[in-house]
Amino acid sequence: MRSGRSAGVERGRVTPVLVVMGVSGSGKSTVARLLAEKLGWDMLEGDDLHPETNVAKMASGTPLTDDDRWPWLHRIAAWIDTRQSARRPGIVTCSALKRSYRDVLRRDGVIFVHLTGSPEQIRDRIGHRAGHFMPASLLQSQLDTLEPLEPDENGIVVEIGRPPAEEVAEVIAQLPPGN
């Protein structure tokens, strides 16, 4: 953990929500799904909250602007608030490329899980997946936009390239006690 802030589920503590972040093709969906299975937490695919206009824009090879992203980020933030209000831990995928985007999602109890790897690893992964609206041609724009987690952000950085189960075990090992 890179922050002194901790999150827990015990009475009087904030309910944890993991935001699995990274560029397209980093493995967010796979890792989030496996984390949800291991921890017994609900999981939301953040891409499902994109307005259709964003999906169409990305599918056509056009990068999103900040103005495109704000409504989407606020939808994810509302989901986080709902989870925490109900005292139900959760996991959501979200690229969260910039600190300003993470600031929209940041609350006590939110832990960012940044999946990172070389551009070559990620290009290879994108090339082998089917059925996703995000084309490989947009990877460079995401890499150019990416602002890695800062030391003062509550987060875990995980290098990709291993079996997803190992990446998940690394995340779980770094969660604060009580999660």
> Which two structure tokens, joined as six digits, stand for 78?
């509302």
Tell me the pLDDT tens digit for each residue of 123-179. 877 766 555 455 556 777 888 999 999 999 999 999 999 999 999 999 999 998 876
Whether residue 115 is predicted with pLDDT greater than 70 in this model: the reply is yes
Tell me, yes or no, whether 11 lies in a domain: no
Is residue 47 one of the residues assigned to a domain? Answer: yes
Asked if residue 2 is part of any domain, the answer here is no
Tell me if 62 is assigned to some domain.
yes
The CATH code of the domain that includes 65 is 3.40.50.300
Domain count, the chain: 1
Position 101 scores a pLDDT of: 97
Query: What's the pLDDT tens digit per position in 142-157?
Result: 889 999 999 999 999 9
Q: What percent of the chain has pLDDT over 90?
A: 64
Q: Is residue 179 part of a domain?
A: no
Q: What is the mean pLDDT of the chain?
A: 87
Q: Is residue 55 part of a domain?
A: yes
pTM equals 0.85
The whole-angstrom separation of Cα 21 and Cα 125 is: 16
For residue 74, being part of any structural domain is answered with yes
Residue range 55-92, pLDDT digits in tens? 888 788 888 889 999 999 999 999 999 999 999 999 99
State which residues form the domain around 60.
17-174
